[in-house]
Amino acid sequence: MDGNVDGISDWLRNDGIRVAAIAAGALVLYVLVRLFSRRLFRAGIRATGGRMTKEQEMRAKTLAGVVRGVLLTVIIVAAVLMVLNELDYNVGPLLAGAGIVGVALGFGAQTLVKDLIGGYFVLMEGQFNVGDWVQVEGNNRSVGGTVEEIRMRTTLLRDVEGTLHIVPNGEIGIASNFTRGWARAVVDLDIYYREDVDKVLGILRKACEKAAAEMELAGEITEGPEVLGVQELTGRTMVVRVVARTTPFMKIDVGRELRAVLVKELEQNGVTMGRRGAPPV
């Protein structure tokens, strides 16, 4: 009995102290990691001058959480292995077994890891934000819509028909953002091919000046409208293109109103509209 007590006392004085030191060190590192992640988040706020949007705040929190989770996992695994070593467990077979399991899981979870890495870079680089209209392509597929949510593994897009598309981040090869910075409203007008081109272009230029000053959405136009000219000839129709640079999200609404103004002006000046697809004469 005394021998057992002496053995426990010796272990506590030697190995026990080392185990306690390992646990204390892991706890200190845990606290430091949490403080680091908070500082990382605050640094992101300072970098924006305190004007961080809700989406930027969400992205910063997500990134800080990912960094914290990875570092804590490393600390816990390292501490457990060190404690087992102090308890005279041979961690070699354990590491070898973990390696085999890791390889097996790696083959089975390649897609999951790819999605998580893709989501990390989407968040870190700010490729698109919630509310942006994007078109994503990957694996010979393409889908577009409004970004409703960005997760670590998937991105949720809602298309114009209301369908919700759940896109794995690892499959996003090309992401086209139609609402970043500015957008362009493109209005193609079908004009009867026998109309005088110079007359039509002159009417449209005056109509564009009028539209820029009188349209309800004129404040959403940052440049133009501008008449580019005849875009193509098809059948009995010539297509004249007018463009205007707009604020994000507003190109569709501006395009609709601009088209209505231009068509009305053409009709008032006796210009005959064309019908695309009509056979030539």
pLDDT in tens, 217-240: 888 888 889 999 888 888 788 899
Domains 128-177 and 183-268 share a fold: no
Q: CA torsion sign, 106 to 110 to 115 to 118?
A: positive
> Percentage of residues in the chain with pLDDT exceeding 70?
73
Q: What is the tens place of the pLDDT at every residue in 47-85?
A: 555 555 555 666 666 666 667 777 788 888 888 877 777
Sequence letter at residue 133: W
Residue 170 DSSP class: G
Structure tokens that stand for 9 in this block: 């006392």
Q: What is the tens place of the pLDDT at every residue in 184-200?
A: 889 999 998 888 889 99
Task: Kindly report which listed range (30-39, 142-151, 204-213, 215-224) carries the lowest average pLDDT score.
Answer: 30-39
Q: What is the tens place of the pLDDT at every residue in 14-41?
A: 666 777 787 888 888 888 877 877 776 6
pLDDT at 204: 92
> Percentage of residues in the chain with pLDDT exceeding 90?
10
For residues 199 and 238, is the Cβ–Cβ distance under 8 A?
no
CATH architecture entry for 183-268: 2-Layer Sandwich (3.30)
Q: What is the mean pLDDT of the chain?
A: 77
DSSP assignment of 223-274 equals EEEEEEEEEEEETTEEEEEEEEEE-TT-HHHHHHHHHHHHHHHHHHTTPPB-
User: Higher confidence at residue 269 or residue 48?
Assistant: 269
Task: Kindly report which listed range (90-94, 100-104, 171-175) carries the lowest average pLDDT score.
Answer: 100-104
**Overall CATH class of domain 128-177:** mainly beta
Provide mean pLDDT across the span 205-222.
86
Q: Is 20 helix (H, G, I), strand (E, B) or coil?
A: helix
Per-residue pLDDT at 247 exceeds 70: yes
What residue spans define the domains of the chain?
2-108, 128-177, 183-268
Banded pLDDT at 279 (limits 50, 70, 90): low
Q: How many residues does this entry show for the chain?
A: 281
pTM above 0.85, yes or no: no
**Beta carbons within 10 angstroms of residue 6's beta carbon:** 10
